[in-house]
A and B are shown apart, each in its own frame.
Chain A
Amino acid sequence: MIHFERFTLENGLKVLVHEDHTTPMAVLNILYDVGARDEHPDKTGFAHLFEHLMFGGSIHIPSYDEPLQRVGGENNAFTSNDITNYYITLPAVNLETAFWLESDRMLSLAFSEKSLEVQKNVVCEEFKQRYLNQPYGDVWLKLRPLVYKKHSYQWPTIGKELSHIENAEMADVKAFFKKHYNPQNAILVVGGAVDKAKVKELAEKWFGPIPAGEKYLRNLPEEPKQLAEVKETVFADVPLNAIYKVFKMPGKMDERYPAIDLISDILSQGKSSRLYRNLVKEQQLFSDVNAYNYGSLDTGMFIVEGRLNPGIGVETADEAIWAELEQLKNQLVNDDELTKVKNKFESTLTFSEMSLLDRAMNIAFYELMGDASLFNAEVDKYLGVTAAHIQEQAQQLFTKEQATTLYYLAK
């Protein structure tokens, strides 16, 4: 159970305060409602590149990191297909420094040419390090366009290709900033050893004067229901054959989501899970197999992926995955197994609440989904899932015509 209070500034910035006086630290987390899904198909990877540029100095402050480090703080950020999230942790006594830095870059960046040139290089190296120079690293570059025909989840956050990043220009940067980085598109969470009244005063002081800007109205095409199976095979310099199987699933806000999330736990959480027990340990078809989902806000992906043991035919392995999915469709999970995944969900949540930063991020993300208090309602939603719900969702999800399968094979 996370407690918080909220207020909204006149310019539209939502502020949530989560007091926790058991720590001497404070967190300032700011979520911008923009992700890779908001990019133009010819200029992909931009939301993430932009995240890098947010550290390249703002209009009144030449360096973002230095003044923060000087007061004992640390920061980082991440970009997903849905959001861009920035966070600072610092000794609570120095909280105002975080407000000063964070508000100035929301007001305006410095738009330095040098920063743009350097960060384009840095991001290209990141692209190579994580996606191109790794075994199986490019799999999502290949898979996403097979899964999504209309929706902009078609590309990963890093972008479709290096050239999109190389070609980024200052005019793009400025336009992106104007469109997405303003108070109306942001959610600010301040947590830790802070006082609500003081946070309000600091928020008014530093963020209050920032012009509201225009509200970005997202209008993305709905991904249509898939009507025919998609299958593709690629060959690459990898040591083991692999299978990736994707089913489109409802987004995180959908009422069906908890049941589907628990399906992935039944299949693959921990060493008692079905895929591990049956396909790795018993049948020994895979050396490694997993089921998970991305928790996307729009139509998401339910993924089953595995690396095959030597001498195992890829079709045999594929059929074995199907057999597990069919089992979920044909038979109700028993009480113990369902209780097990629910207990695990509950304890995972309890453990994650030990981290102040995790709590702040969750408050911001659930506020984006409509209301931060939804986070506190999650446990009951999961505990309310029945075996019949699980079966019903499995039947909806796991059909041949809605499957996208990629065989990623050793050359």
Chain B
Amino acid sequence: MLDRTTAPQFKNIEDINFIQASKHQLANEIPVFIINAGEQELVRIEFIFKNVNWDIQKPLLSLAANTMLNDGTSNLSGAEIANKIDYYGAFFQTEFGLDRSAVVLYSLNKHLSNTLPIIKEVLTDSVYPEKEVNTFINNQKQKLKVSLEKNDFLARRQFSKAIFGDTIYGFSSNLEDYDALNQADLRVHFEQIYHPANCTILVSGKVNDDILTLLDSLFGDWKSEITFKPNTVEFKAADEKYHYIEKAQALQSAIRIGIPSINRKHKDFPALQVLNTVLGGYFGSRLMANIREDKGYTYGIGSANVSLEQAGYFFIASEVGTDVCADTLVQIEKEINILKTELIGEEELALVKNYLLGSLLGSLENAFSHADKFKNIYFFNQDYTYYTNYINTIKTINASQLLELANKYWDFDQFYKVIVGKV
């Protein structure tokens, strides 16, 4: 008779192998990192640039300069760029982040000699046609109007503003900020940010030697005399901890709670990741177990340590029924305080450790994911020993170290608390 009550034997995860990026450079010293893996004849090529010259008076320039990169060059209209990219079954994406702006090309290898020259054109010769700028302004304002009706969006904005103030990390765009955009400013900003001395190229997929040669022939002679100034983010969090935006008609309240914290460069970061997982970092977390699976207050609740290049923060977020919003806050505080006063049980800690290792192993699915892992260390001035250390921390950390960590980093009274909806 089959015994269904006893779990099958299982094995702990011992080896997690990272495919390390190899470093190359173009004739003009643009660094090129290559992750070569996979069966499919395709690659992802990322051109990554630090955000520079951010100015609170013109806060949307970097975003707009990035998003509009496919809207026209001296030689190609936006329609022509799109047609060419689409014709070869490629994907061209602009990615704007708080720290970096990127242009990403996904292409089958056989079409690279047709698709990559378009990227060159875009990165060296975008002109931001007046008409396209106006369309961009209009469409973004329309989108913003819709987003402003969403409680979770409002909570995110208010939270960022409270902890990071008037910096690129903290500011929230208003409709008028879009109206202030213009072609002249965009062209100036474009030259500053999309600059060979500000560029890192990351190629992942099935990478053959031809690709490096092609990159060098297209981008190796890219030069610029323009100067730029990388952003420095200096912030002071608000004094007021409690931010409530009332929405009389709300069926649910969006909650966002947290505090400025450390980022990946700090030695405690891996351990804090383990602690966060226990609290709210996976489906079986304490917040999920209590607030969703025991009380049914929400569809989901989670927490995370966010690592930005020049700061970090910790947050808990959920959307809950308005009638249970107040109790949700009580429960969150309770769960935080338990982690500060009671040791995590052995079984739970073992489970979280195995979960984290399995999830790391599973996150290394293909060349693209290995490239993402590389970005996580490279832009934080770390090398692959970060992961060795991370894995080691997961395997060896104990409950009293985690309790100490909870006391060091988490104080519910000090947390910023943003609620949009009804309490």
Contacts and interface: CB of A to CB of B under 8 A. Distances in A.
Interface stretch (A9-17, A88-96, A167-175, A247-255): A88-96
Main secondary structure on chain B at its contact with chain A?
mixed
A346 B111 CA distance: 13
Interface residues of B, number: 72
Nearest to B369: A354
B322 to A, nearest CB: 9
A112 B106 CA distance: 48
B320 A355 contact: no
Interface string B225-259: 00000000000000000000000011110000000
B11 A93 contact: yes
A70 B351 contact: yes
B4 A61 contact: yes
B7 A67 contact: yes
Contact of B361 (A24, A123, A209): A24
Interface in A27-62: 59-61
Contacts, number: 211
A128 B251 contact: yes
Interface in A336-372: 336, 339-340, 343-348, 350-351, 353-356
A60 B351 CA distance: 20
A135 B366 contact: no
A387 B169 CA distance: 50
A70 B354 CA distance: 6
Interface in B167-215: none
B284 A340 contact: no
B373 interface: no
Contacts of A129: 252, 299, 319
A249 B365 CA distance: 36
B55 interface: no
A209 B299 CA distance: 35
B138 A71 contact: no
Nearest to B299: A126
Most buried by B among A60, A66, A129: A129
A22 B364 CA distance: 11
B359 A133 contact: no
Interface string A113-142: 000011111111110111011111000000
A353 B138 CA distance: 37
B366 A96 contact: no
Contacts of A93: 10-11
Interface stretch (B23-31, B38-46, B157-165, B333-341): B38-46
Interface stretch (A183-191, A266-274, A325-333, A395-403): A266-274
A92 to B, nearest CB: 10
B108 interface: yes
B8 A288 contact: no
Which among B82, B299, B319, B321 has the greatest number of chain A C-beta atoms within 10 A? B299
B294 A118 contact: yes
Contacts of A133: 151, 250-252, 319
Interface string B41-54: 11000000000000
Contacts of A94: 8, 10-11
Nearest to A25: B362
A280 B135 contact: yes
A354 B42 CA distance: 10
B107 to A, nearest CB: 8
Rank and list the top 8 A-B pairs by shortest CB-CB distance, nearest first: A72-B358, A121-B296, A347-B89, A272-B82, A343-B89, A287-B142, A239-B145, A271-B82
Interface of B: 2, 4-5, 7-11, 13, 38-42, 70, 78-79, 81-83, 85-91, 106, 108, 132, 135, 138-139, 142-143, 145-146, 148-151, 249-252, 282-284, 292-299, 319-321, 350-352, 354-355, 357-359, 361-362, 365-366, 368
7 contacts: A129-B319, A133-B250, A272-B83, A284-B138, A343-B89, A348-B89, A354-B38
